[in-house]
Structures are given as C-alpha cells and as structure tokens.
Amino acid sequence: MINQIIIADSSPLISLAIIEQLELLPRLYQRVLLPPAVWNEVTVQGLGLPGAEAVSQVKWLEIEAPLPMLLEPLLILVDHGEAEAIALAKSTPNPIVLLDDAQARRIAERLGIPRIGTLGILRRAKKAGLIAEMKGYIEQLRNNGIYIRSSK
C-alpha cells in the first residue's frame, strides 16, 4: 500500500467499477476521498448507469468537501467534479488525484499535484501483484465505450 491519499474524479471511478476493480483503490492507497460533486455525478445523476450501483455500495469511500476558496478559480477551467477533486487535493496532505480528463490533468500538473489515471492504477496494481495483466481490462473498458488512448 502506498502512503498516499487518493482523491477520485468520476470517470476513473466509473471505469474501475465497470471492470469490477474498485477494490484496487483501498489496496493501493491509505485513504480514498471523494468530493461531494463526484459522489453526486456517479450515484445520483448517474443512477442506473454503469458503475453507479457499485460505487454507491462501497463502504471505504470518504466523502469530503474542498475549501471554497480553492474551488472557485477551478470551476471556470474544468467541470465541477474535476474542480472539486483538484481543490480537495490542494488541501490534503500527501495527495494524488485520480483523473482521466486531459485538461484536468494539465491543471493538476501546473498546481504541482501528483496525478494518475485509470491505466496508471492498473499499472500499479499489476506491479503490486494485485492483477495478472492489463490487456483484458483495457479491452473491457473499450467495449463499454470508455476511451483509452492507444500507446505509441
């Protein structure tokens, strides 16, 4: 387990739920935080959509709101869930933010926040011996309409 707190955005959370690998997060990280906007996107607005039920039943997710003064400037740059995840990471000790959106990842990088995406989680899980391979999961994500950039 990595001694970091991971703060998740909705897209990677849904992706991990679709491939039934949500449990990788607490096995890889000390704590798993979710901003209220992400919880709402996935479990309320996303009710009935892939991943919503799995996420809503997880007991180890901690819902935590970011500080408003950190959130406001981010809302003009990215969607509400991503903005809350980045803002929460700014005020969390030893954070890593789980984002798949390219714009949100660039903003986190500019703010000096470590970031990882769905594929990064799968890579870490494989390296830690938690999964045997990634190919099947990547194929499953693509088959469910999740965009995965081809490696060069």
Task: Please indicate, yes or no, whether the overall pTM of this predicted structure exceeds 0.75.
Answer: yes
CA distance 3 to 20: 23
Domains of the chain: residue spans and CATH: 2-143 (3.40.50.1010)
Tens digit of pLDDT at every position of the chain (152 positions): 678 999 999 999 999 999 999 999 999 999 999 999 999 999 999 888 888 999 999 999 999 999 888 878 787 888 889 999 999 999 999 999 999 999 999 999 999 999 999 999 999 999 999 999 999 999 999 998 887 765 54
CA distance 87 to 104: 11
Return the residue matching tokens 């798993």: 32
CA proximity to 11, closest of 151, 152, 148, 150: 148
